[in-house]
Amino acid sequence: MEEWLRMRSVLWPHCLPEQLRLEMREWLSNPEKRACFVVEASPGRLCGFLEAGLRDYADGCDTSPVGYIEGWYVDASYQRMGLGRALVRAAEEWARSKGLRQMASDCELDNHTSLAAHLALGYEEAERSIHFCKNLMID
Ligand SMILES: CC(C)(COP(=O)(O)OP(=O)(O)OC[C@H]1O[C@@H](n2cnc3c(N)ncnc32)[C@H](O)[C@@H]1OP(=O)(O)O)[C@@H](O)C(=O)NCCC(=O)NCCS
């Protein structure tokens, strides 16, 4: 659990550890709809994870539900060794075993590495979006 948390903290640095732990508990409590795949670098030491889940809807998909890559990470010193690819393949196999026909994912607009990796693994860009937020307590 601590290794999983360590990697999640690197992937989502703006999330508080308590929030990350809460999500991990939620993930583990719903094995029908959630799965986490990890890569072990050495006994007790992980170097990558992929959290996959089911979503009712995903942009670009025309089936429902679909598998969804919710979190995907490989430690910097282990990247470009095929581990990310292996994690995605495992998640796709999991989704397939549930009878799902499509897998979806997303990444930030400026995450060029993630975009390149998704494209390399057969994912097609479906849509680009910009999110807005307005603080209603100001005016
Ligand atoms: C995205 C990530 C998980 C990929 O993991 P990885 O183990 O390096 O991926 P792989 O080695 O399996 O690469 C698979 C393919 O993706 C492409 N790719 C991966 N990294 C790339 C890079 N930096 N530049 C260009 N293409 C890249 C390549 O085509 C690669 O195949 P190749 O090495 O045979 O050419 C990893 O870069 C990562 O953890 N990044 C930081 C966190 C992150 O951005 N996660 C995704 C959030 S949406």
pLDDT over threshold 90, residue 79: yes
b/e string for 5-30 if b means 16 or more Cβ within 10 A? eebbeeeeeeeeeeebeebbeebeee
Q: Please report which residue ranges of 29-108 form alpha helices under DSSP H.
A: 83-97
Please report which residue ranges of the chain form alpha helices under DSSP H: 2-11, 17-28, 83-97, 112-120
Confidence of residue 72 (pLDDT cuts 50, 70, 90): very high
State the closest ligand 1 atom to the C-alpha of 105, by its place in the atom list counted from 1: 48
DSSP label of 82: S
| Residue with CA closest to ligand 1 atom 29 | 120
Whether the pLDDT of residue 77 is over 90: the answer is yes
Structure confidence at residue 139 (pLDDT) = 64
Distances (CA, A) of 44 to 41, 67, 136: 8, 29, 47
Model pLDDT for residues 89-113, shown as the tens digit of each residue:
999 999 999 999 999 999 999 999 9
Its pTM stands at 0.94
Q: Which atom of ligand 1 is nearest to the CA of 83?
A: 7
Closest ligand 1 atom to Cα of 108: 48
d(CA 114, CA 86): 15
Cα(50) to ligand 1 centroid in Å equals 13
Tokens of 87: 């994690």
List residues near ligand 1 (CB under 6 A).
11, 72-74, 79-85, 107, 111, 113-114, 116-117, 120
pLDDT, one tens digit per residue, over 7-66 is 999 999 999 999 999 999 999 999 999 999 999 999 999 999 999 999 999 999 999 999
